[in-house]
């Protein structure tokens, strides 16, 4: 007897969820604004970002040389600098004033100054310094210059060392110049590309933020046009179960997001050949709680939206903050405690860390289990807050006098 009642209740509940699900589909697909957020935005933004960052690396940054030594050796140094992939000599200046002028006019971003006594010192067996001045407005330029000048001076220095050895065998030479050789392997982003590092984070963030904006927009519309009663009137027989509303809506958004997720996490990296060594199914399995957490996160936040369009004002700027708090640019461990705690509460933080761990670094869900668990915790947490928020809104709505069995019309 009891079991059949339970069965009956489950059936009613399930049907109720499906009812809300279907209703929400109608709402979404009749709302052009929401469709843009759910479908157009996740398709357009990744492509735009990928195109901006697709060149990945900076090559041949313009620089000038002020060669006061004018010896074969100083010319060789300048030539080697020009030959390195990172720098390109655009001019040989007569003095520093001329070089500075070129830098002011942004025709170059670095100046190599070779002092008069450059070769003299070397022949005398003294250390011979060369000066490099780098513009610091763009860190990548500086990084390129630094690597180039370090490598070039080390190589030339090694060559000079060899000359002093006189008659040594190649083996002796390599032993004398580098007794402990080293090799550097850059993992997961072999060319140290800027896009390969930033895009995975942006992709995950786009998923979350488009949900936040779209769900905010829908909620704003409901609030503005006082349509909330559509969600509870006519459902009194199951006591207006809040959980059904929340679940029904969430399933609707979730099912809509399957296509954008596949596109963003699979097709975009494939088109632009971003590092993707993780197992695709692991990624999708990992994204399941991320999507749920983001959906409930968005539904909770949507309580602050009082008008369709304020969704933009409230949430667009947070995208940039969420990107930083995720720890992809500024390492997570080096953040102040306070921001770490805030970051823990944002699904994208764990989404980005986990996605980078699986997609870029080829880990498994087990490797990123911390993020995976946190996403489920956030799913649970935001599910509860969403229920509370909806309960509160419906309570207030009823108090304002929208109670009753309104006839449901097609006008949603």
Partner 1 sequence: MVDLRSGFKILGTVIVRELHRLVSRPIYILCLIVAPLISCIFLLTLMDKGLPERLPTAVVDLDHSTASRNFIRQLNSLSLIQVVEQPNSFTEARESLQRGQIYGFLVIPESFEAKAMAGRQPELSFYTNNGYYIPGALLYKGFKTMSVLASGAIVQQTLLAHGQYGYEITPKLQPIVPDVHALGNPWLNYSVYLNNTFIPGMLQLLILLTTVFSIGSEIKHGTSREWLAKSHNSIILAITGKLLPQTVIFFVVGALCQSLLYGYWHFPLHNGIWPMLSAMLLLVIASQSYAVIMMSIAPSLRIGLSMAGLFGIISISITGFSFPVPAMYSPFRLLTNIFPLRHYFLIYADQALNGIPLYYSRIQYLALFLFALASLPLLPRLKKALQRQIYVP
Min CB(350)–partner 1 separation in Å = 11
Residues 291-330 contacting partner 1, CB under 8 A: 306-310, 312-314, 316-317, 319-321, 324-325, 328-330
Residues 45-74 contacting partner 1, CB under 8 A: 48-49, 51-55, 57-59, 61
Is 121 in contact with 127 (CB distance < 8 Å)?
A: yes
Q: Calculate ∠ Cα 62-66-70, nearest 5°.
A: 125
Residues 72-91 contacting partner 1, CB under 8 A: 77
Query: Which segment (43-51, 239-247, 293-301, 380-388) binds partner 1 by CB under 8 A?
Result: 43-51
Min CB(188)–partner 1 separation in Å = 4
Q: Say whether residue 331 binds partner 1 (CB under 8 A).
A: yes
Burial track 184-223 (b if 16+ CB lie within 10 A, e otherwise): eeeeebeeebbbbbbbbbbbbbbbbbbbbbbbbbbbbbbb
Is 218 in contact with 301 (CB distance < 8 Å)?
A: no
Among 333, 401, 407, 409, the residue binding partner 1 under the rule CB under 8 A is 333
Query: Which segment (63-71, 227-235, 356-364, 394-402) binds partner 1 by CB under 8 A?
Result: 356-364
- Based on CB atoms, which residue is closest to partner 1, 242 or 305? 305
Of 396, 405, 402, the residue nearest 227 (C-alpha):
402
Instruction: Report how far residue 368's alpha carbon sits from residue 94's, in angstroms, rounded to the nearest whole number.
Output: 57
Question: How far is it between the farthest Cα atoms of the chain?
Answer: 103
Instruction: Report how far residue 187's alpha carbon sits from residue 185's, in angstroms, rounded to the nearest whole number.
Output: 6
Query: Which segment (139-147, 244-252, 263-271, 373-381) binds partner 1 by CB under 8 A?
Result: 139-147
Site residue total, partner 1 (CB under 8 A): 109
Per-residue contact string for residues 258-297; x = within reach of partner 1 by CB under 8 A = -----------------x----------------------
Instruction: Report how far residue 57's alpha carbon sits from residue 191's, in angstroms, rounded to the nearest whole number.
Output: 8
Q: What are phi and psi of 64, to 5 degrees?
A: -125, 160
Q: Say whether residue 236 binds partner 1 (CB under 8 A).
A: no
Min CB(121)–partner 1 separation in Å = 8
Instruction: Report how far residue 126's alpha carbon sits from residue 111's, in angstroms, rounded to the nearest whole number.
Output: 24
Min CB(93)–partner 1 separation in Å = 16
- Based on CB atoms, which residue is closest to partner 1, 21 or 355? 355
Among 181, 237, 239, 409, the residue binding partner 1 under the rule CB under 8 A is 181
Residues 91-130 contacting partner 1, CB under 8 A: 104-106, 122, 125-130
Pairing of strands 61-67, 87-93: parallel
Is 269 in contact with 47 (CB distance < 8 Å)?
A: no
- Based on CB atoms, which residue is closest to partner 1, 12 or 364? 364
Element of type H or E holding 228: none
Is 380 in contact with 289 (CB distance < 8 Å)?
A: no
Is 88 in contact with 82 (CB distance < 8 Å)?
A: yes
Among 72, 187, 237, 410, the residue binding partner 1 under the rule CB under 8 A is 187
Among 12, 25, 33, 391, the residue binding partner 1 under the rule CB under 8 A is 33
Residues 357-396 contacting partner 1, CB under 8 A: 357, 360-363, 367-368, 370
């Amino acid at each position: 007897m009891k079991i059949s009642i339970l069965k009956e209740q489950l059936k009613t509940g399930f049907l109720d969820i499906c009812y809300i699900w279907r209703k929400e589909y109608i709402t979404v697909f009749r709302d052009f604004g929401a469709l843009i957020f759910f479908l157009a935005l996740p398709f357009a933004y990744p492509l735009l970002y990928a195109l901006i960052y697709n060149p990945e690396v900076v090559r041949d940054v313009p620089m000038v040389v002020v060669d006061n030594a004018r010896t074969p050796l100083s010319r060789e140094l300048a030539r080697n600098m020009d030959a390195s992939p990172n720098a390109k000599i655009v001019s040989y200046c007569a003095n520093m004033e001329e070089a500075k002028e070129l830098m002011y006019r942004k025709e170059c971003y670095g100046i190599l100054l070779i002092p008069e006594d450059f070769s003299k010192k070397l022949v005398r067996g003294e250390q011979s310094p060369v000066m490099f001045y780098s513009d610091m407005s763009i860190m990548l330029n500086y990084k390129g210059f630094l690597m180039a000048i370090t490598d070039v001076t080390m190589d030339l220095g090694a060559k000079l060392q060899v000359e002093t050895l006189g008659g040594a065998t190649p083996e002796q030479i390599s032993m004398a110049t580098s007794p402990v050789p080293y090799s550097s392997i850059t993992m997961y982003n072999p060319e140290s590309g800027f896009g390969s590092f930033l895009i995975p984070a942006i992709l995950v963030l786009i998923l979350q933020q488009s949900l936040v904006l779209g769900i905010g927009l829908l909620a704003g519309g409901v609030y503005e046009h006082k349509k909330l009663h559509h969600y509870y009137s006519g459902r009194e027989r199951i006591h207006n179960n809040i959980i059904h509303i929340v679940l029904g809506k969430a399933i609707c958004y979730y099912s809509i997001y399957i296509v954008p997720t596949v596109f963003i996490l699979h097709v975009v990296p494939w088109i632009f050949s971003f590092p993707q060594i993780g197992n695709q199914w692991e990624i999708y399995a990992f994204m399941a709680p991320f999507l749920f957490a983001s959906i409930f996160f968005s539904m909770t936040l949507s309580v602050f939206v009082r008008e369709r369009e304020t969704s933009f004002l409230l949430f667009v700027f947070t995208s940039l903050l969420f990107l930083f708090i995720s720890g992809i640019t500024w390492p997570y461990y080096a953040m102040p405690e306070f921001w770490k705690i805030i970051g823990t509460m944002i699904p994208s933080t764990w989404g980005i860390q986990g996605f980078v761990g699986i997609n870029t670094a080829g880990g498994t869900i087990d490797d990123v289990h911390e993020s995976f668990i946190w996403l489920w915790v956030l799913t649970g947490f935001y599910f509860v807050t969403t229920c509370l928020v909806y309960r509160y809104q419906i309570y207030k709505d009823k108090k304002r006098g929208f109670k009753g069995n309104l006839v449901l019309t097609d006008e949603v």
